Amino acid sequence: MFIVQLAAECAPVAKVGGLADVVFGLSRELEIRGHSVEIILPKYDGLRYDQIYGLQVTYHDLWVPWYGGAIHCSVWFGFVHGRKCFFIDPHSTDNFFNRRAFYGQHDDVARFAFFCRAALEFLLKSGKRPDILHAHDWQTGLAPVLLFEIYQRLGLGRTRCCYTLHNVKHQGLTGEFVLRATGLNRPEYYFHPDRLRDDGNPHALNLMKGGIVYANFITTVSPRYAHEIRHTDQGFGLNHVLHVHQRKFGGVLNGVDYDVWNPEVDPHIPQRYGPAGLDEKYKNKQALRQRLLLREDWRPMVAFIGRLDHQKGVHLIRHAIFYCMHNGAQFVLLGNSPDPAVNNDFWHIKRQINDNPDTHLELGYNEELSHLIYAGADLLIAPSLFEPCGLTQLIALKYATLPVVRNTGGLADTVFDADYAPKPYAERNGFVFDGYDVPGIESALGRAIAMWHRQPKHFRELMENAVRYDYSWNHPGQDYCNIYEYIRDK
């Protein structure tokens, strides 16, 4: 099959979070399985250009319809670690993608609506006729709409669309202008509850809802999250439309790219190790301590890696820092927040604990250091309010670092409590808690730290269990192939 991935992120060239890893990892897996895959991205000024090989303009004069006129674009092509990527580069005073940031601009809806229209126009004009267009998250929710309302009759008649929800908190709510801009027009038609009209606000269009309504199949990134967004307030108002379209909706757990995240081959860690030699892991703990100027002591190392977003349980992360400090553990945090107030708060804590030999906060984004932390830590916390899939716990498992997670979304699908999971001991791989509160995280973190100190043999068994799990792209890759095959025009 010929598959085109359409997304706002792709690792490592344009990465904010897990979406980027998924677009890259899934594409790679599909290629390994013999499919032809191309990825279309915006040509942001902030791309990691050092990670793109052979970048050159491949299509010079793409005129993309926009508000009754057209915007002149170039389309660039380059390889990103072997993946074929196309980058849309509009030449207009809107300067859509030269903002030194991927998101958070006042005109994000217009930027990504334009991206969708440009991507489809590019497919049409360049003669590409994919079997499957796979769109991701609200930024590309308009792609299935444009495909079936405009481009199908222009020549993309055989292309079918898969749409993946990575986080339904962000849905792309907007006004009528987007219809005029993209040439969809006909507000009375699209402002219909069966199409794009938002279920909560009758005056708004909902781009993610559009993707759900028009796509041939919708997935989200874990089975538990698929259930939560239909049946709980985690659906943020999409519950009804997901219910209506339930027959074309399912949860597929994300995979992890074990070429990048694998302690047996990881070039970023000083000591490689695998299931047969887990003791070697501790040399990485030593290296991590040296790098962050933490003391060498008989204590477990607890880590957090991720965006410091409300979703991630910021107050519980903050609490865990001090809890570890006072309960015989060390703590390392690697994260940053787009919200200045949250960043300031963590900078404040960082200054407060500056001289503490057991705690280090690294406030920023650092891919390379993240590898050393996954390898060096004993435990990794993910106390999320909600978590569609979560990658950090999956990566941690591969590095024999036991996750301590809240019982939600993909965390609940992948981590099984050492004491309480309804599974044989050999299948337990971490610590899980229910309450989104201080007693909740303390109950699990306390058990984890105590087990490390008092039952090292048990702790070691859990590590051995953890590395036996296969959360690679192997299974989800097959699931996506089945979905594509199911919806493909045969």
Residues lying near ligand ADP in the complex (CB under 6 A):
17-19, 21, 305-307, 334-336, 365-367, 370, 389-392
Which residue number, 121 or 387, has a Cβ lying nearer to ligand ADP? 387
Question: Residue 367 or 419: which CB sits closer to ligand ADP?
Answer: 367
Least distance CB 159 / ligand ADP (angstroms): 27
Q: Please report where in the chains the tokens 């759900």 appear, as a residue.
A: 212
Question: Is the Cβ–Cβ distance between 89 and 98 less than 8 Å?
Answer: no
Strands 2-6 and 36-42, bridge-based pairing: parallel
Of 2, 6, 41, 11, the C-alpha closest to 395 is: 11
Least Å distance, CB 353 to ligand ADP, is 18
Q: Nearest CA to 119 among 108, 134, 107? A: 134
Residue with tokens 């047969």: 276
Nearest approach in angstroms of CB 367 to ligand ADP is 5
Q: Report the residue number, 363 or 438, with the smaller CB distance to ligand ADP.
A: 363
Give Cβ neighbours of residue 238 (< 8 Å, ≥ 6 apart). 168, 171, 199, 208, 209, 212, 229
Nearest distance in Å: CB 265, ligand ADP: 17
- C-beta pairs of 292-299 under 8 Å, 24+ apart in sequence: 292/332, 292/360, 292/362, 293/357, 293/360, 294/330, 294/332, 294/357, 294/358, 294/359, 294/360, 295/357, 295/358, 297/330, 297/358, 299/328, 299/329, 299/330, 299/358
Q: To the nearest whole angstrom, how small is the minimum distance from the Cβ of residue 15 to ligand ADP? A: 7
For residue 65, the minimal CB distance to ligand ADP (Å) is 32
Query: Smaller CB distance to ligand ADP: residue 170 or 460?
Result: 170
The helix, strand and coil proportions of the chain, stated in percent and rounded to the nearest 5, come to: 40, 20, 35
Nearer to ligand ADP, 260 or 418 (CB): 260
For ligand ADP, which residue has the nearest CB?
18
Instruction: Tell me the closest approach of the beta carbon of residue 366 to ligand ADP, in angstroms.
Output: 5
Nearer Cβ to ligand ADP, position 120 or 305?
305
110 vs 333, which CB is nearer to ligand ADP?
Answer: 333
